[in-house]
Amino acid sequence: MNNSRTKVLMLVLLLSLPVFAQKQANNWFFGNYGGLTWNTTQTVTATGIYGTTEQKQLSNIPDKVPGSSMSTNEGCFSLSDEEGNLLFYSNGVTIWNRNHDVMRNGTGLTGHDSSAQSGIVIPYPGSKTKYIAVCIGSNGQTTNEGTSNGRLTYSVIDMTEANGVGAVVEKNIPLINFNPTIGESVSSIRHANGRDFWIVAPARGMNSYLNAWLATPEGVVADAPVVSAFPPNTGNAETSTSGYMKFSPDGKFFAWATNYANQLKVGRFDTKTGKMSNGQSIEWRNAYGVEFSNSGKYLYVQSVDRGDVLMVYEFEDLLAHGEAATKKVRIPYMESAAIQMGPDGRIYMSLSRKDYMNVIDNPEEMYNLKIYRLPSIIAGTGRLGLPSFSATWFAIDDFKGTICLDEDAVYRVSSSTGKIVIDFDEGEGKQIMDVPANGEIRHKFKKPGTYLVTVELYGEAGTHPQTAYTTVYSCYLPVNHNLSNLK
């Protein structure tokens, strides 16, 4: 039926707080005392180097941040709070606080400045003030015992210590029982429950594995990883595997570049179980940097040392066809190594010993890419590496509104009859409600979870229900809030 009397429309899912982008990745420290911030931005004249040769004014480009105390050839990580205030940064060996001083007890971590991903940091589940820093040394770890300066370990940082600039309160706790030999790569992604995190380190060798340890409010389950095997005999016996591993923002997919092993490994990841599926290895010479677009649809892979080729794949096609993938774009000689998504949705590319960068301006447009060379935007200079972040900081939950447990979910509804039938998907069934004059239906969910809220017009048979997903987090840790699209 299509007359106005039988229409119910849920226009948009609102939040009780303004929608904003989280800013945990707003400050980058890398290379030779290199620093960038998105807390203040600039408009620059950039020169087209792929897809266009023209100059273009690019806005919202990060500003320089002077004062870094760190010089690192490759791996590094940094973290800011949800307002964009710098908390700390590290090369995997030393942690510096927001004042660029060495954090208390922040030396002697087990990373290395020539480890591809010497470290990554995640929130400590259940805490608003603690973080977990995971580190791995150069050439990785060959046994579960490891050497004192090369082990895969985690340390706990408490930002309430040292008058609010933070201190390492637990250090170099080994992650063990992996299979069989860890490389120089480590990544992380949020668990499907929205609270816990997976710490994932791939293992190199003739037969490769993913090892996934779970971090919960009770701590890191350091001795019981979930181990998933790639298909047999797809690996390379190289003693060093030095490339980046990344997850898509929704955690469904992963990509791991192995550089010296000359392979790109890809697959699916179950954020509920920690298991890999559809894992496969693709011959890829000197694959080093990898990054997903924000939608997770496209994968960018950058080689290093030999040719510096950048490839772009439609990831589902790559996963289905492997080396025979048809939906791909080859971009020759970018001079870069690591590639990293910025808070602005662009992908930034490191250039060794340069104070400028390359940037992919439109990573969601695979067949119409525009890559620009930015002018001098870095305080200091870049090297091979860029900061590693959990993909969670860049998560975009399509078709889901996200709120915290103590917030009101607000649904704006119009109804020609003045009444609606609504089901909040909490097991209590349908409720009849009058539509307030302002059209806003407010509801507080009782526990975390994802709910499919259904609204129907009251008193009119045959009308089509309107639905919207709402994801409710406990908010013990910062999460991204995003507006919803209705089905």
Averaging pLDDT over each range in 235-249, 269-283, 389-403, 455-469, which range is the top one?
Answer: 269-283
Q: What is the mean pLDDT of the chain?
A: 84
Per-residue pLDDT at 487: 35
Per-residue confidence (pLDDT) for residue 471, from 0 to 100: 78
Least confident of 127-131, 260-264, 398-402, 482-486: 482-486
Query: What is the spatial distance between Cα 443 and Cα 51, in angstroms, rounded to a whole number?
Result: 48
| % the chain with pLDDT above 90 | 56
Per-residue pLDDT at 440: 82
Q: How far from 453 is each of 7, 115, 341, CA to CA, in Å? A: 17, 47, 33
List, in order of start, the domains of the chain with CATH numbers.
4-17+399-473 (2.60.40.10), 27-388 (2.130.10)
CA–CA distance, 25 with 244 (Å, rounded to integer): 18
Token pair of 66 as six digits = 């002077």
Q: Which residue has the higher pLDDT, 77 or 235?
A: 77
Q: Is the pLDDT confidence value at 2 over 80?
A: no
- pLDDT tens-digit readout, 40-91: 999 999 999 999 999 999 999 999 999 999 999 999 999 999 889 999 999 9
pLDDT, residue 15, reads 37
> What average pLDDT does range 306-316 have in this prediction?
88
pLDDT at residue 234 tops 70: no
> Each residue of 327-348: pLDDT tens digit?
999 998 888 889 999 988 899 9
The confidence score (pLDDT) of residue 434 equals 87
Distance CA 137, CA 115 (A): 6
350-360 pLDDT per residue, tens:
999 999 999 99
Peptide bond into 180 cis (omega under 30): yes
Percent of the chain beyond pLDDT 70? 83
pTM of the full structure: 0.78
Residue 7 has pLDDT above 90, yes or no: no
Of 71, 98, 203, 184, nearest to 135 (Cα)? 184
86-102 mean pLDDT = 97
